[in-house]
């Protein structure tokens, strides 16, 4: 557990998954945006992948994707060893400015090691995380797998993103009826307008509103402009009075994979009951295929979009990430922009309606991986 006046969070030992998370825990109406699988407290059959048994919140992927194809003859579990193996405590600390927790995990299949640092600053409704990979012997396709729970109400959340250079649906249907699943989006389509994306039945659908397409599982990928100082993803829950957002360096995490999970999987333990859940997954990789496909030329890399990261000469990579929430006033509809310079300790979240909220956030963490008052990070 890690706690400040504005955030209370837990991280699982298995998979290092972030949830439950409560923002403003002492407020009469606290906010809990992250999803926890409906089978979280159930006994599952032996052999159920650890990732699936623990499924919740956000987690770091050392090899993002299904990884059905081995890497150099080595089988990599879905979303990598970081998402399935046991994490151990490395250290923790607390000052008047905030608190931090370090966890570590060995990556024998990828020939490396990973240390995660999760930090909270007092009065910041933000979670700061940094993952430090070391001893890597080749490229990797890392990512964050933030998974949000939406109200059971059509189009309850309004999504928007920083400037894009490309967007596509997956090359084939994400799910097929013969294997107990259903998808709606037309495969292998270049997306020109997120609000009018072709479906297999000839209609179009709006990917900026969710829940939608009940009974379907779908995937699309959005590729950020790499020249941005930072890229962002956001969801406004207007009736609930808050916005969730994530911030990243687009030269490290190049894309956002959108996983629309709304009851389209009927195999166990899904059983059609994983509904109103959306993955807003900031990654560098080739869709959700896995590390092997991401390491070779693919449909994204041919367009100049990065699908792997190369560690330095010592096999090291460091990936900072920010996610958080802000309460919003009436009339705040959809995020138009998130503004904040490296020297600022605040961000402005601006809505299309003209409304703006300002919250405390150390954007420079994305560049330095450091936070004021927490020098031991």
DSSP output for 70-131: -BTTB---TT-GGGTSB-EEEEEEE-SSEEEEEEEEEETTTTEEEEEEEEEETT--EEEEEE
- 75, 81, 84, 90: CA torsion to nearest 10: 160
pLDDT at 259 (0 to 100): 98
Contact present, 51 and 61 (Cβ < 8 Å)? no
pLDDT at 57 (0 to 100): 98
**Separation between Cα atoms, residue 1 and residue 12, nearest integer Å:** 9
**What CATH number was assigned to the domain covering residues 2-368?**
2.70.98.10
Q: Which two tokens stand for residue 351?
A: 């809505």
Domains in the chain: boundaries: 2-368
Contact present, 286 and 301 (Cβ < 8 Å)? yes
pLDDT at 377 (0 to 100): 81
Contact present, 122 and 4 (Cβ < 8 Å)? yes
* C-alpha closest to that of 162 among 283, 245, 57: 245
pLDDT at 168 (0 to 100): 97
pLDDT at 310 (0 to 100): 95
Continuous H helices in the chain? 50-54, 291-295, 365-368
Q: Which two tokens stand for residue 66?
A: 């299904």
Report residues of the chain scoring pLDDT below 50. Answer: none
């Amino acid at each position: 557990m890690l706690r400040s006046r504005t955030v209370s969070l837990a991280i699982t030992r298995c998979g290092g998954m972030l949830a439950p998370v409560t923002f403003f825990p002492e407020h009469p109406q606290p906010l809990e945006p992250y999803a926890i699988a409906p089978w979280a407290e159930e006994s599952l059959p032996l052999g159920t992948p650890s990732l699936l048994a623990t499924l919740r919140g956000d987690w770091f992927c050392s090899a993002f994707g299904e990884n059905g194809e081995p890497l150099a003859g080595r089988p990599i579990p879905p979303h990598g060893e970081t998402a399935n193996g046991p994490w151990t405590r490395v250290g923790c600390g607390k000052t008047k400015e905030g608190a931090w927790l370090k966890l570590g995990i060995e990556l024998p299949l990828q020939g490396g090691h990973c240390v995660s640092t999760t930090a909270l600053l007092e009065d910041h409704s933000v979670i700061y995380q940094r993952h430090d990979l070391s001893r890597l012997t080749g490229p990797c396709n890392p990512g964050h797998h933030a998974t949000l729970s939406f109200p059971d109400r059509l189009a309850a959340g309004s999504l928007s993103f920083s400037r894009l250079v490309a967007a596509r649906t997956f090359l084939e249907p994400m799910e097929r009826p013969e294997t107990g699943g259903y998808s709606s989006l037309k495969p292998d389509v270049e997306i020109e307008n997120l609000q009018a994306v072709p479906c297999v039945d000839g209609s179009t659908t709006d990917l900026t509103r969710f829940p939608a397409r009940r009974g379907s599982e779908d995937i699309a990928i959005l590729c950020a402009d790499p020249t941005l100082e930072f890229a962002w993803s956001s969801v406004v829950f207007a009736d609930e009075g808050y916005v969730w957002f994530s911030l990243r360096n687009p030269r490290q995490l190049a894309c956002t994979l959108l996983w629309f999970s709304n009851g389209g999987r009927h195999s166990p333990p899904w059983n059609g009951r994983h509904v109103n859940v959306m993955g807003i997954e900031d990654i560098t990789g080739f869709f959700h295929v896995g590390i092997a496909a991401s390491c070779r030329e693919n449909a994204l890399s041919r367009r100049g979009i990065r699908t792997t990261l190369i560690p330095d000469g010592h096999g090291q990579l460091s990936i900072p990430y920010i996610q958080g929430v802000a309460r919003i006033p009436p009339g705040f509809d959809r995020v138009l922009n998130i503004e904040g310079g490296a020297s600022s300790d605040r961000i402005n979240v601006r809505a299309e309606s003209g409304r703006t909220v300002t919250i405390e956030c150390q954007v420079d963490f994305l560049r330095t991986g450091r936070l004021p008052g927490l020098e031991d990070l």
